[in-house]
């Protein structure tokens, strides 16, 4: 496995300054954050703790005859990347 080197990112202290000075929109935030980011580089040498949440949005079409139901759910994976802290 190869390791990738990343360069620290200088973040503006005020997001309003970014939007007003460069014409950036809120949708450009991902582009700003991903500049010089390597998705192949490990966030840290130790294992990363990932929390997984499942939120049930709706349960419908319950059938007592077949024992089935339809469910709408949302899955979230949450972790901290020390490169952004």
Clarify whether residues 36 and 50 are in a common domain. no
CA distance 51 to 58: 22
Yes or no: say if 52 and 73 are a contact pair by the CB < 8 Å rule.
no
How would you write the pLDDT of the chain (85 residues) with one tens digit per residue? 444 444 454 545 555 554 454 445 666 777 777 777 777 877 677 788 899 999 999 999 999 999 999 999 999 999 887 766 5
Q: SS3 letters for 19-71?
A: HHHHCCCHHHHHHHHHCCCCCCCCCCCCCCCCEEEEEEEEEEEEECCCCEEEE
The angle formed by the CA atoms of residues 54, 56 and 59, to the nearest 5 degrees, is: 150
Clarify whether residues 32 and 59 are in a common domain. no
Clarify whether residues 1 and 17 are in a common domain. yes
- What pLDDT does residue 24 have? 52
Domain extent, residue 78, equals 43-85
Clarify whether residues 22 and 53 are in a common domain. no
- What pLDDT does residue 4 have? 46
Clarify whether residues 22 and 56 are in a common domain. no
- What pLDDT does residue 6 have? 47
Q: How many domains are there within the chain?
A: 2
- Write down the pTM of the prediction: 0.43
């Amino acid at each position: 496995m190869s390791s990738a080197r990343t360069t620290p990112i200088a973040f503006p202290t005020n997001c309003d300054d970014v939007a007003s000075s460069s014409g950036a929109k809120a949708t450009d935030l991902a582009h700003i954050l991903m500049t010089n980011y390597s998705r192949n580089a490990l966030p840290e040498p130790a294992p990363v703790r990932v929390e997984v949440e499942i939120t049930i949005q709706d349960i419908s079409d319950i059938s007592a005859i077949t024992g089935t139901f339809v469910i709408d759910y949302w899955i979230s994976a949450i972790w901290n990347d020390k490169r952004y802290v």
